[in-house]
Amino acid sequence: MTEILTQTLHGREIAYRRTGSGPAVLLVHGITNDSQTWEPVIGRLARGHDVIAPDLPGHGNSARQRGDHSLGAHASMLRDLLQAVGTERVTLVGHSLGGGIAMQFAYQFPEMVERLALVCSGGLGREVSPLIRSAALPGAEQVLPLITAQPLMDAGTWVAAAFGRLGFKPGADLAEVSRGIASLGDTERRAAFVRTVRSVISPFGQRVSAIDRLYLAEHLPFQLVWGDRDPIIPVAHGHATHEAVPGSRLEVFEGSGHYPQLDDPERFSDLLSDFIATTEPARHDVASLRERLLAGAST
């Protein structure tokens, strides 16, 4: 198990895992998860990379940030963490909500991003699981304490039955989603979850989209990874994004769900290591960015 470190930022503790040496890789987890989601791949990646995996505010061992739970606020926190630990540029890897945060980070701080890899990412289409949409409904704050009550979580059988009806297969999907739901028994974690969900999701689907800005990613080495049985965010979003970004790569894990990095950590680690080894890190150029913005505005 990778050691958990802490860094105080703006008066609050941010937890993160860090190991290895070489080109820096920042792993950003999804909602209700934490850096443990990456544990099966951290050791493999650390053989040739400096791997940094934070717990987002309100997740895992990190304190909850007050007020702003937007993608931009999370991206700014990641920028501050990297600055605090002395890392200037990274290959950015985001899973689920972390994918949306990664894209926002690349948009806000392009000079810090060498490559971008998105894993079953949010922000690339409207469709999303009813399980996630339900957290955006009015009154979710009152319902969640009942769902996450300890006697129910200890029983466990209702979780498997309910999630099975939503398309979650036994294995990584069911285990990680169940672990995430269990974490919401904590009041602080529950508040962070609801506010984060509502910043990006409505009862009708995803409300934040990067589709109209994907042309800005054409200069970045860009890897997409998806499970073809993802019950939370459909693999169709990955195919559509791959078609929209010339030069992007798409790897679909057959039989995998929302957590391909857990379903097959060896394949995932090899894929990411190869992506880094076979691409040149992007270099931010203000003049080139201006040209892309103007060209995008005219289409």
> Which residues are part of the catalytic machinery?
96, 230, 258
Contact by Cβ (8 Å): 121, 99: yes
Whole-angstrom CA distances from 121 to 7, 13, 140, 186, 239 are: 27, 26, 24, 26, 12
List the one residue out of 10, 103, 8, 16 whose CA is nearest residue 59: 16
Residues in the chain: 299
Residue 114 CA: distances (Å) to CA of 217, 256, 279: 11, 28, 9
* Secondary structure (DSSP) of 67-93: S--SHHHHHHHHHHHHHHTT---EEEE
CA–CA separation, 128 and 276 (whole Å): 29
Strand-pair category, 113-119 with 249-253: unpaired
